């Protein structure tokens, strides 16, 4: 899944682009997921105390159901990052399964997409959207620059 983020920061548009290769995919078995117990490289990098960096946004599929992902998400929040769903009183935003052949009659009930923000930003809106050809919904967040 590719990610495009458009930011209007004080009149200057900026776009951040990312995709599967940016997620530290070493050790991933596409048929079974991360069954070898090795977390991807990205959370280990992001656990550094970056929340004080103005304008930091961490977004993506953070599979917090696995113990090491849950620890990574908790570690990110412990740095001072704010979860946009919680900030807006939305709780979770179920995204999986969506059009999943293994679970054809189940509605989305597990949150896997997260948007975390650092200082200098505030959440305005967050929502989930169906994306044809994927087994989960996309998360879209609108953030405002506050300082």
In a domain, 89, yes or no: yes
Residue-range definition of the domain harbouring residue 59: 3-18+39-145
Per the structure, how many domains does the chain have? 1
Neighbours of 126 (CB within 10 A): 21
Question: Is 45 within the bounds of a domain?
Answer: yes
pLDDT at 87: 92
Whether 84 is in a domain gets the answer: yes
Q: Which residue has the higher pLDDT, 123 or 34?
A: 123
pTM of the model: 0.64
Band (62; pLDDT cuts 50, 70, 90): confident
**Residue at 44 is within a domain:** yes
Regarding predicted confidence, which is higher, 117 or 4? 117
Q: Which residues make Cβ contacts (< 8 Å) with residue 86, sequence separation at least 6?
A: none
The answer to whether position 120 is within a domain reads yes
The backbone region for 12, taken as left when phi is positive above 0, alpha when psi lies in -120 to 50, beta otherwise, is beta
Q: Residue 31 domain-assigned?
A: no
């Amino acid at each position: 899944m590719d990610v495009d983020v458009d930011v209007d920061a004080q009149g200057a548009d900026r776009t951040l682009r990312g995709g599967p290769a940016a997620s530290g995919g070493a050790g991933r078995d596409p048929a079974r997921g991360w069954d070898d117990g090795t977390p991807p490289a990205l959370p280990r990098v992001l656990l550094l105390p970056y929340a004080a960096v103005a304008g930091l946004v961490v977004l993506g599929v953070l599979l917090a159901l696995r113990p090491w992902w849950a620890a990574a998400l908790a570690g990110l929040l412990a740095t001072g990052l704010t979860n946009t769903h919680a900030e807006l009183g939305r709780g979770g935003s179920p995204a999986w399964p969506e059009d999943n052949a293994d679970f054809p009659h189940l509605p989305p009930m597990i949150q896997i997409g997260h948007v975390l923000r650092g200082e200098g930003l505030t959440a305005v809106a967050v929502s989930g959207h169906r994306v044809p050809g994927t087994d989960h919904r996309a998360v879209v967040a609108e953030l405002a620059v506050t300082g």
